[in-house]
């Protein structure tokens, strides 16, 4: 690779706190150059505030990712690695940089084993995404921020990282099933993406497993296959929306991940024994 540089986004605003640094970066046009990210003993968490349509990422000379990032997606990496990236479309994201010492202090305070590295992840984490939103007002008006709120949000953010991506991720599985964090993450991911098609490979990758391992483990933990659990979750959400008269059946079908109203009707009747329109009338 050649033509490397370190290009700043068109808009950046940074807030440095004792535990971490937060940068809001926005670029409206592609950056054709390859950017080499300075190496350091820091963890990086990037949260996409808008869809990032095209992006390349290298570790050393190896291309490890070429694709898009959906709004709300999260990437966790360690900056000790030799990272390079190329932004091929506009982006709007929040970048949170955490020194290793911060996590050492947090684990020491609670008597937990120190974390050498957070587990690398590219996917969706609802907790990280929503906590990150709370950092934005602090960036826009740093002088007026509530210090107590800042401390609470920062500690909640760091605690979630330690629990979800630190030593807690390495707990033993239950007799060959999924670890608690894996089951929780799979369910959260499926619940957050009901409105679109989700492949088992995607969910398994989000948990750091192969499709076969994930499928076996999920069934062992829950007693049902993952696609069945997802199907029932879609039906449950449809029920919740059906008792709200403002939603039409076509809108409910799309919001719950069904192809159309006919697909919703067939699936709903098979599970409940009643078509959704009739079921709705019976609730009032």
φ/ψ of residue 2, rounded to 5: -140, -175
Backbone angles phi, psi at 78, to 5 degrees: -110, 130
| Closest to 202 (Cα-Cα) out of 192, 194, 190, 216 | 190
Q: Which domains does the chain have, with CATH numbers?
A: 4-170 (2.60.120.10), 180-223 (1.10.10.60), 228-282 (1.10.10.60)
Q: Give per-residue pLDDT as tens, 222-279.
A: 888 888 898 899 999 999 899 988 899 999 999 898 889 999 999 999 999 999 999 9
CB-based contacts of 188: which residues, under 8 Å, 6+ apart? 125, 126
The answer to whether residue 210 scores a pLDDT higher than 50 is yes
What is the pLDDT at residue 176? 65
- Give percent of the chain above pLDDT 90: 34
98 φ, ψ to 5°?
-125, 115
β 62-69/91-99 pair status: unpaired
Average pLDDT over residues 184-212: 82
Q: Is the pTM of this model over 0.85?
A: no
pLDDT given at position 249: 94
Give residue 265's pLDDT.
Answer: 94
| Dihedral sign, Cα of residue 31, residue 36, residue 40, residue 41 | positive
**What 3-state class would DSSP assign to 59?**
strand
Which residue in the block uniquely carries the two structure tokens 């996917």? 123
Q: Distance between CA 121 and CA 130 in Å, rounded?
A: 17
pLDDT of residue 8: 54
* Residue 84 in tokens: 């390079």
pLDDT tens digits for 2-29? 333 344 567 889 989 999 999 999 998 8
User: Is there a contact between 189 and 73 (Cβ–Cβ < 8 Å)?
Assistant: no
Distance of CA 148 to the CA centre of its chain: 26
């Amino acid at each position: 690779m050649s033509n490397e540089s370190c290009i700043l986004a068109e808009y950046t605003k940074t807030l440095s706190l004792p535990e971490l640094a937060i940068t809001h970066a926005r670029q409206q046009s592609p950056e054709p150059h390859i950017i080499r990210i300075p190496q350091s003993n820091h963890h990086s968490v990037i949260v996409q505030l808008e869809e990032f349509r095209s992006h390349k990422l290298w570790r050393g000379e190896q291309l490890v990712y070429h694709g898009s990032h959906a709004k709300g997606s999260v990437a966790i990496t360690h900056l000790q690695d030799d990272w390079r990236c190329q932004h091929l479309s506009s982006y709007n994201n929040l970048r949170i940089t955490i020194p290793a010492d911060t996590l050492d202090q947090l684990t020491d305070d609670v008597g937990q084993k120190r974390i050498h590295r957070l587990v690398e992840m590219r996917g969706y984490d609802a907790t990280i995404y929503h906590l990150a939103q709370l950092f934005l007002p602090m960036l826009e008006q740093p002088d007026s921020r509530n210090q107590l709120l800042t401390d609470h949000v920062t500690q909640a953010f760091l605690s979630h990282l330690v629990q979800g991506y630190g030593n807690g991720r390495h707990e033993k599985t239950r007799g060959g099933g999924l670890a608690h964090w894996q089951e929780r993450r799979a369910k959260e991911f499926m619940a957050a993406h009901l409105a679109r098609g989700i492949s088992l490979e995607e969910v398994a990758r989000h948990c750091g497993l192969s499709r076969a391992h994930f499928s076996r483990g999920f069934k062992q933990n829950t007693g049902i296959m993952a696609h069945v659990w997802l199907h029932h979750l879609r039906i449950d959400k449809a029920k919740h929306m059906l008792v709200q008269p403002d939603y039409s059946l076509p809108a409910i079908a799309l919001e719950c991940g069904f192809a159309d109203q006919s697909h919703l009707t067939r699936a709903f009747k098979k599970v409940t024994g009643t078509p959704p329109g009739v079921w709705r009338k019976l609730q009032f």
